[in-house]
Amino acid sequence: MKKQKLFWGIFFIVMAMIVVVSKLGMLPDVGVFSLLATAFLIWMASDGIRHRNFYEMLFAVAFLCIIYDKPLGIEALTPWTVLAAALLLSIGLSLLFGGKRKRKRSIEFEWESDGSGGIGSFSEQCSGEHIRCENNFGAAIRYINSDNFCKASLENNFGSMTVYFDNAMIQGDTASVKVDNNFGETILYIPKEWKVQNELDHCFGSINEHGKAMGTNSAVLRLKGDTNFGNIEIYYV
């Protein structure tokens, strides 16, 4: 969080300088909005590369192409063709080169759903110390039942995923949940007794907390990951 505050502080200071310098005629004839958007999109693309987030990376490039379509001579491709290409490439690259999966058969539960069973919600009981759930183009409900919950990796693409942690117990000092939400909604139900360290990030999406974590026991849950063109809803129960 401190690094993020440092970045945004420097970002807005640099943007203020760009606005002033552009008004003095010391920069090329480019609108102030275009300059601000360019700086943000370049950061967005570099952040996508750093986290291997193809949605963030390619949509940043797509919006840069839209802003500079005339100099690039690609007016015939903007905006919808470029955006469609960014979407399809993001899906394909994410499926081919998604995050590495660590398999520990004795303690890991893994479930994947692609919505191929039709429209509706698919529920499943999940147990184990390490849990991975993936949902693509469908609706999924997962109930985490674990006496020694340590880590969960949740990936939701173009669908809705609801995960209940109210029957999970953290035996150690900390546990973590990594969320990768793209063009969909991920809903988390978390015991209000846990101490929650929210490190989630968003790009063209939202993260909303409902209720409040009381933190009455010593267990700490770290929420990591991000949402792109979608939202993450957190309920404390």
What does the pLDDT read at residue 207?
A: 92
Same domain, 25 and 128: no
Same domain, 112 and 191: yes
pTM value?
0.64
Task: Give 175's strand partners.
Answer: 221
What confidence tens digit (pLDDT) does each residue in 174-227 have?
Answer: 999 999 998 889 999 999 999 999 999 887 788 999 988 887 788 899 999 988
3-state secondary structure at position 82:
helix
The C-alpha atoms of residue 154 and residue 98 are separated, in whole angstroms, by 12
Given a contact cutoff of 8 angstroms between Cβ atoms, the answer to whether 190 and 165 are in contact is yes
Given a contact cutoff of 8 angstroms between Cβ atoms, the answer to whether 228 and 201 are in contact is no
Buried b (16+ CB within 10 A) or exposed e, 81-99: ebbeebbebbbeebeeeee
What does the pLDDT read at residue 119?
A: 41
Same domain, 131 and 216: yes
Residue numbers of the chain with a pLDDT score lower than 50: 1, 99-108, 115-120
21 falls within a domain = yes
End position of a domain, from candidates 71, 96, 121: 96
101 falls within a domain = no
Same domain, 182 and 143: yes
Same domain, 213 and 141: yes
What does the pLDDT read at residue 177?
A: 95
List alpha helices for 24-53, DSSP H. 32-50
Position 100: which residue type?
A: K
DSSP 193: T
